[in-house]
């Protein structure tokens, strides 16, 4: 099977690149588009470090053959800080010390974005459920949950920063 | 493929930069941070995805390295056939032991620990399942994997040994010929020893003698980011190594020794580690990736996949510990005998040091007048073990504190009082002949008891690390 030209809308911009058959969305983002925020922790769908949003839904990019999402809209961590300003989730991760080594952070933030997009007022259980596919081996789960709840509060405007 | 330069992040310490720019001194005038909340300096990079991990470095013409690994626990290598592997389209080079300038090494050589006991690539024998034999360098990861899968190795099986005590028995299969016996030798002794006071006399006059056995399995650090590096040959002939090692200089020095090259021919770019927990202290990917980069004259990436990380990266050692205590009716421990076996796996790596740490940690934070310990660093045909979070100490503590609880239960004593009675105080001579200073175990236990609502009698509440009151 020959390589093909694949087109995606990445962080709002149309991008085209050549993809070998079967190449993953993760490899395409990292190696063809130079967007390296999404990480390869396991390459087998088990850790969530590669999570990006495809049409707003979190997907493990290491398991998605890129041709199957051709033409769709993909959001990565690079697209979150609009105009160079950190958004509520990013700010809350900084303020609540929700990062340690930082390797899981991109995936954690992307699932948090998807969660808050669909539910601006999640319960703690909803947050735990949302990040349940994401491993943090530095085991900073507690601050991550607190940061996501804090981001939701800030986004609702109940607490200003 | 695009080559990305690390962006310079000027967003951190914005206040300090502004202060410096306004001429109020480079440090912004006030670096008093205790009691205030200070943002982590790397947090903005992490939340924006701008932090550069080694695998984010994508130089043009990047080649990929994959290992062909031992399919046996212990075997002689009779033949290695590369024919089919070399025919795989995209395979550039296959490295064997003959390509490595100094194939034999041990990482603690840098602090005078020897002998060299581990080949970078196996020579005539494999000593554990997954030991690297040949390194395949290819255009793509897929071609490297395919090449590695097509290497044929003929083995003659040797009997393996997997248990530390079995390995020390007369007639056990010899794991590592470079040591000549299945244990590390400490200054002419078969193990790291402690001899303090007279334990035999203590056991003879004790009211009670308790002996139990403790054992732990190997523990994999399992960092979120797997072990790896990208080596980029430079125009001036040097090699730039982007690595997730936890020990940049240690890696640089060991790699230079293995490459038989001056240290200044190598440059390490590192310090950003996607979780390590000790598992990224060994020097296992950089040397062979450097040789590959020189042989192929291209940048080379060698990164473990998740299965390799779990199977061949060195875990915390399995340990087996026997503790025998001489105890009086009132709970005073007058003698402690400990026999500790650290399973180093097939090669020494950091285990001789971990075993010494374990010895230095015995008999725990207690003032015991008679102590005898034999701490063995044992070679078996298991995955070489190495550093992980307080290695040598953590499992010993598990054993020691379990022992304390069991003694308390057996004598129907309060476990906190038992510890307060035996805790070392300032000025106590410890078993390895160091005087205890700045001790605080007594106060910590008292505070913990208070927080937990655990009643201590007045006499125990008045105990102190700096006086001998109540003893
Ligand atoms: S890298 Fe995709 S889930 Fe682990
Ligand atoms: S911060 Fe290290 S894995 Fe989560």
Q: Which tens digits make up the pLDDT trace of B71-90?
A: 999 999 999 999 999 999 99
Q: Is a pLDDT exceeding 70 seen at residue B390?
A: yes
Measured from the CA of A43, which atom of ligand 1 is nearest? 1
pLDDT value of position B227: 98
In chain B, whose CA is at the least distance from the CA of A36?
A: B56
Assign domain B221-305 one CATH number from 3.30.365.10, 1.10.1040.10, 3.60.10.10, 3.40.50.300.
Answer: 3.30.365.10
CB spacing of B306 vs A43 below 8 angstroms: yes
pLDDT at B19: 67
Q: Would you say residue A161 lies in a domain?
A: no
Ligand 2 atom nearest to CA at A49 = 3
Is pLDDT above 60 for B25? no
- A60 and A105 housed in the same domain: no
Check if B63-157 and B192-218+315-461 are the same fold: no
Domain boundary among A39, A57, A77: A77
Residue A132 backbone zone (phi > 0: left; psi -120 to 50: alpha; other: beta): alpha
Question: A72 with A93, same domain?
Answer: no
Contact: B46, A105; criterion CB under 8 Å: yes
Distance from CA of B56 to the nearest CA of A (A): 6
What pLDDT band is residue B13 in, cutting at 50, 70 and 90? low
Q: What is the pLDDT of residue B8?
A: 58
Q: To which H or E segment does residue B79 belong?
A: strand B75-81
State whether residue B1 sits within 8 Å of chain A by CB.
Answer: yes
In terms of domains, do A95 and A148 share one?
yes
A40 in reach of chain B (CB within 8 A): yes
How is chain A split among helix, strand and coil, in percent rounded to 5? 40, 15, 45
Helices A88-95 and A105-118: crossing angle, nearest 10°?
Answer: 130
For position B9, what pLDDT does the model report? 65
Residue B1 pLDDT level (bands cut at 50, 70, 90)? very low
The size of chain A, in residues, is 161
Query: Rounded to a whole number, what is the distance in Å from the CA of A103 to chain B's nearest CA?
Result: 5
Does position B359 have pLDDT exceeding 90, yes or no? yes
The answer on A66 and A96 residing in a single domain is no
**Measured distance CA(A153)–CA(A147) in Å, rounded:** 10
B33 alpha carbon to ligand 2 midpoint, in Å?
Answer: 25
Q: What domain count does chain A have?
A: 2
User: Which structural domain range is residue A63 located in?
Assistant: 4-77
Please give the pLDDT value at position B128.
Answer: 98
Domain termination site, one of A20, A48, A77? A77
pLDDT per residue as tens digits for the range B275-306: 999 999 999 999 999 999 999 999 999 999 99
pTM: 0.92
B158's CB contacts (< 8 A; 6+ apart) are B74, B75, B76, B125, B173
ipTM value for the complex: 0.96
DSSP secondary structure string for all residues of B153-222: EEEEE------HHHHTSTTPPP--TTTSSSB--BTTBSSEEEEES-HHHHHHH-SEEEEEEEE---B---
- The residue of chain A with its CA nearest to that of B4 is A34
Same domain, yes or no: A73 and A94: no
Residues A64 and A117 in one domain: no
Distance (Å) from the alpha carbon of B187 to chain A's nearest alpha carbon: 38
What share of chain B has pLDDT > 70, as a percent? Answer: 94
Do A52 and A107 lie in one domain? The reply is: no
Task: Tell me, yes or no, whether A95 and A72 share the same domain.
Answer: no
Pairing state of beta strands B371-379 and B333-345?
Answer: parallel
DSSP states of B427-450: TPBPTTS-B--S--HHHHHHHHHH
The CATH number that domain B63-157 falls under is: 3.90.1170.50
Signed CA dihedral, B409, B413, B415, B419: sign only: negative
Ligand closest to Cα of B53 equals 2
Q: What pLDDT, in 10s, does the model give residues B118-163?
A: 999 999 999 999 999 999 999 999 999 999 999 999 999 999 999 9
Q: What is the pLDDT of residue B201?
A: 98
Mean pLDDT is lowest, of A6-10, A79-83, A151-155, B27-31, for: B27-31
The CATH number of the domain holding residue A19 is 3.10.20.30
Residue A150 lies in a domain: yes
| Average pLDDT value for residue range B240-268 | 97
H/E segment holding residue B125? strand B125-126
Q: State in Å: Cα B205 to ligand 1 middle.
A: 61
Phi then psi for B417, rounded to 5 degrees?
-65, -40
Q: Where are the domains of chain B?
A: 14-47, 63-157, 192-218+315-461, 221-305
d(CA B124, CA B133): 10
Q: Which of A6-10, A124-128, B20-24, B121-125 has the least mean pLDDT?
A: B20-24
Instruction: State the pLDDT at residue A1.
Output: 80
> pLDDT tens digits, residue range B80-116?
999 999 999 999 999 999 999 999 999 999 999 999 9
- Between CA A37 and CA B287 the distance in angstroms is 28
CATH number at residue A135: 1.10.150.120
DSSP bridge pairs for B252? none
Average pLDDT, chain B: 94
pLDDT, one tens digit per residue, over A18-54 is: 999 999 999 999 999 999 999 999 999 999 999 999 9
> How many Å lie between the centroid of ligand 1 and the Cα of residue A40?
6
Q: Tell me, yes or no, whether A68 and A110 share the same domain.
A: no
Q: Are A57 and A93 in a shared domain?
A: no
CB-closest option in A35, A36, A94 to B43: A94
User: Which of A77, A109, A138 is the endpoint of a domain?
Assistant: A77
In the predicted structure, residue A79 carries a pLDDT above the cut 50: yes
Tally of helices (H runs) and strands (E runs) in chain A: 5, 5
Among residues B242, B407, B377, the alpha carbon closest in space to that of B317 is found at B377
Contact B97, B119 (CB under 8 A): yes
Q: Which fold has domain B192-218+315-461?
A: Aldehyde Oxidoreductase; domain 4 (3.30.365)
Q: What is the pLDDT of residue B28?
A: 45
């Amino acid at each position: 099977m020959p390589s093909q030209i694949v087109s995606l809308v990445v962080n709002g911009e149309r991008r085209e690149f050549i993809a070998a058959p079967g190449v993953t969305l993760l490899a395409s983002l990292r190696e063809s588009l130079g967007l390296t925020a999404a990480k390869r922790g396991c390459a087998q769908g088990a850790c969530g470090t590669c999570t990006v949003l495809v049409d707003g839904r979190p997907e493990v990019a290491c398991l998605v053959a890129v041709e199957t999402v051709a033409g769709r809209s993909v959001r990565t961590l690079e697209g979150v800080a609009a105009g160079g300003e950190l958004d509520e989730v990013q700010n809350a991760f900084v303020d609540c010390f929700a990062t340690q080594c930082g390797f899981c952070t991109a995936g954690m933030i992307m699932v948090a974005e998807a969660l808050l997009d669909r539910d601006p007022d999640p319960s703690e259980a909803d947050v735990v459920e949302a990040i349940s596919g994401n491993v943090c081996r530095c085991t900073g789960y507690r601050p991550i949950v607190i940061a996501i709840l804090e981001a939701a509060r800030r986004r609702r405007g109940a607490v200003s920063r | 493929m695009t080559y990305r330069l690390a962006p310079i992040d000027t967003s951190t310490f914005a206040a300090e930069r502004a202060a410096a720019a306004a001429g109020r001194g480079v440090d912004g005038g006030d670096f008093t941070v205790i009691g205030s909340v200070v943002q982590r300096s790397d947090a903005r990079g992490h939340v924006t995805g701008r932090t550069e991990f080694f695998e984010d470095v994508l130089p043009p013409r990047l080649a990929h390295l994959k290992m062909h690994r031992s399919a046996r626990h212990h075997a002689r290598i009779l033949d290695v056939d590369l024919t089919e592997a070399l025919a795989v389209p995209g395979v550039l080079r296959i490295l064997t032991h003959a390509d490595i300038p100094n194939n034999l090494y041990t990482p603690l050589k840098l602090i005078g620990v020897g002998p060299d006991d581990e080949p970078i690539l196996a020579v005539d024998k494999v000593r554990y399942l997954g030991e690297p034999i040949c390194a395949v360098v290819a255009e793509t990861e897929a071609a490297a994997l395919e090449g590695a899968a097509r290497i044929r190795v003929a083995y003659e099986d040797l009997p393996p040994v997997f248990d530390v005590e079995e390995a020390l028995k007369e007639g056990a299969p010899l794991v590592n010929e470079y040591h000549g016996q299945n244990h590390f030798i400490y200054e002419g002794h078969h193990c790291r020893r402690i001899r303090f006071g007279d334990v035999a006399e203590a056991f003879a006059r004790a009211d009670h003698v308790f002996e139990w056995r403790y054992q732990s399995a190997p523990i994999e650090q399992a960092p979120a980011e797997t072990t790896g590096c990208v080596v980029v040959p430079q125009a001036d002939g040097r090699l730039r190594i982007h690595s997730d090692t936890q020990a940049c200089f240690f890696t640089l020095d060991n790699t230079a020794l293995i490459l038989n090259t001056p240290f200044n021919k190598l440059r390490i770019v590192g310090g950003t580690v996607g979780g390590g927990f000790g598992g990224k202290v060994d020097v296992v990917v950089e040397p062979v990736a450097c040789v590959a980069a020189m042989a192929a004259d291209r940048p080379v990436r060698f990164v473990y996949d998740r299965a390799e990380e779990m199977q061949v990266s060195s875990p915390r050692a399995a340990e087996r510990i026997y503790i025998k205590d001489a105890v009086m009716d009132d709970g005073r421990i007058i003698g402690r005998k400990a026999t500790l076996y650290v399973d180093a796996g097939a090669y020494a790596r950091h285990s001789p040091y971990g075993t010494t740490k374990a010895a230095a940690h015995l008999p725990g934070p207690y003032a015991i007048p008679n102590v005898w310990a034999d701490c063995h660093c044992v070679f078996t045909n298991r995955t070489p073990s190495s550093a992980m979070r307080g290695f040598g100490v953590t499992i010993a503590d598990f054993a020691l504190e379990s022992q304390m609880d069991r003694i308390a239960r057996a004598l129907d004593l309060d476990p906190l009082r038992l510890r307060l009675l035996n805790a070392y105080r300032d000025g106590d001579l410890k078993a390895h002949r160091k005087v205890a200073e700045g001790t605080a175990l007594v106060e910590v236990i008292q505070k913990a008891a208070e927080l937990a609502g655990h009643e201590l009698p007045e006499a125990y509440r008045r105990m102190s690390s700096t006086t001998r009151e109540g003893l």
